[in-house]
Structure 1
Amino acid sequence: MSVSTQGRIAGFVYLGLVVTGIFSLAYAPSQLIAPDDPATTLANMQEQFSLFLAMIAGGVIMAAFFLVLPFTLSRFLSVYGKNAARLMILLVVVSIPVTLLALFQYGELALTIANNTAQVEDVGAARAGYRHWITVSTFFWGAWLAPYGWLVLKSGSIPRWLGAMLLIGSFGYLTELFGPMFIPHFDELPFVDYVTKPASIGEIGSCLWLVVFGARASNSGN
């Protein structure tokens, strides 16, 4: 199988991850979850129960795509750094059970809603548990971009400027995660809303590049 074809396979896996991630982490929560208002959130979940179930299922499918992704990427990137490729795979694999633990919190809530026994307190507990485990997952979602970005920079299989975005984005994820622990009023700083933008550019950009063009066979690209 050619390097270009290997790249396209990785690109379509990445595209599946992006689409399911947007749905389960952004669109569906925006329709269901009212921040700091568990009563309204419960009402939304009861009224749009199918969407709630789809959000959970989408999260599981997202995790499956994420699990497969580093293996498909390493098929053409590992030649440029086997240890970096192994680290990339390890960080993703470790993240999967953590993400599933987060989704399990909503799964339990869905059962109580289906049985008509859900209380407002159940929503608060499920949301707290979900946020805890997703916060842990965020570390891995940011950390894996570092070896991935480094391999892109070294190989040129994907444009190197996207590799730079991935590396900067990895730092941005970790800054967003650990910043509030060490910097007072971190969330009020003017740059906070932008720290993960490079990661989005790098991930979506590399995904689309791989889908359209595949991976380059040499390290001569820029």
Structure 2
Amino acid sequence: MENKVSSLKKTARFAGLLYLIWIITAIYGLMYVQPQTIVAGDVVATANKVLANEFLFRTGIINSIISSTVWLLIGLTLYRLFKQVNEHQAKLLVTLVVVQIPAVFFMEALDITSLMLFKGDILKTFELSQRQDLAMLCLKINNYTTIILEMFWGLWLFPFGMLVYRSRFIPRILGVFLILNGIAYVIHCFTHLLLPDYQALVFQIATPIWTLGEISIMLWLLIKGVKNNIQTVDQQ
């Protein structure tokens, strides 16, 4: 039993470490790179910012690739941690992570294309304003792809939350937080697409829920790992 607890703790703490790295990359990309390179609705200002901060823009692309790689590793590590609880739900968790990866790489291809357009490396026969409009189109497609991906950011948290709730070696309340987190992502996604005027309001309401759910599970996995007593783990 001690060996089992030790093994689970190592796996859980590794998942927590990966989660921490992923959160750091998300903060860097969304809260640092984007504000310094993108000006919503202003093509010329965005072009000037991207060109003035080209290296930063490129680090954002690398950051997204690293983030996606870590994201995949999180899914695989959580599968290893929870497969004894319910293998079908653990496989569903991994599947909902894996299907997101191609979309992220497509988005980064759009970022690279937009940079090349802003610099005039491609479509040189086009007018500057035309290249800038095409580059902005790439960035807008990127943005709407992110909105669609938000659905999957929510969906994967449902099996994750259920697995945490059923595992008994992680506090059940964290599983509830994750499910609420997932619901918040899904609602925000649909609001953004169907009722965009209310998106900002829903974002303000959802942000504390997102923070509570994923920060809580990350800290538990990283610091505690699993409970010492795991005799009550469900075997299903």
Query: Same fold judged by TM-score > 0.5?
Result: yes
Does 1:198 find its partner at 2:209? yes
Give 1:113 deviation, angstroms.
4.1
Does 1:145 find its partner at 2:141? no
Distance 2:197 2:50 in 1: 32
CA 1:183/1:48 → structure 2, altered by over 3 Å: closer, same or farther?
closer
Distance 1:82 1:199 in 2: 26
CA 1:40/1:16 → structure 2, altered by over 3 Å: closer, same or farther?
same
Mapped contact 2:147–2:192 kept (Cα < 8 A)? no
**Which has the higher Rg, Structure 1 or Structure 2?**
2
Alignment correspondent of 1:214: 225
Give 1:15 deviation, angstroms.
1.2
Alignment correspondent of 1:30: 35
1:35-114 to structure 2, matched below 5 A, reads: 35-114=40-119
CA 1:115/1:87 → structure 2, altered by over 3 Å: closer, same or farther?
same
Local SS of the residue matching 1:104: helix
Structure 2, unpaired ranges of 5+? 1-5
Does 1:178 find its partner at 2:190? yes
Specify the code of the residue in structure 2 equivalent to 1:205: S
CA 1:32/1:185 → structure 2, altered by over 3 Å: closer, same or farther?
closer
Mapped contact 1:154–1:219 kept (Cα < 8 A)? no
Task: Please report the TM-score for the alignment, with normalisation by the length of structure 2.
Answer: 0.84
Distance 2:36 2:196 in 1: 32
Distance 1:210 1:193 in 2: 27
Distance 2:36 2:195 in 1: 32
Local SS of the residue matching 2:84: helix
Alignment correspondent of 1:162: 174
Mapped contact 1:98–1:136 kept (Cα < 8 A)? no
Specify the code of the residue in structure 2 equivalent to 1:111: M
Instruction: Give the % identical residues.
Output: 26
Alignment correspondent of 1:133: 145
Distance 1:125 1:183 in 2: 22
Mapped contact 1:169–1:197 kept (Cα < 8 A)? no
CA 1:182/1:44 → structure 2, altered by over 3 Å: closer, same or farther?
closer
Does 1:19 find its partner at 2:24? yes
Structure 1, unpaired ranges of 5+? none
Distance 1:203 1:49 in 2: 32
Give 1:187 deviation, angstroms.
3.0
Local SS of the residue matching 1:34: coil
Distance 1:219 1:23 in 2: 40
Mapped contact 2:117–2:132 kept (Cα < 8 A)? no
CA 1:109/1:180 → structure 2, altered by over 3 Å: closer, same or farther?
closer
Give 1:191 deviation, angstroms.
4.7
Mapped contact 2:118–2:135 kept (Cα < 8 A)? no
Give 1:75 deviation, angstroms.
1.4
Mapped contact 2:114–2:139 kept (Cα < 8 A)? no
Give 1:180 deviation, angstroms.
4.7
CA 1:61/1:192 → structure 2, altered by over 3 Å: closer, same or farther?
closer
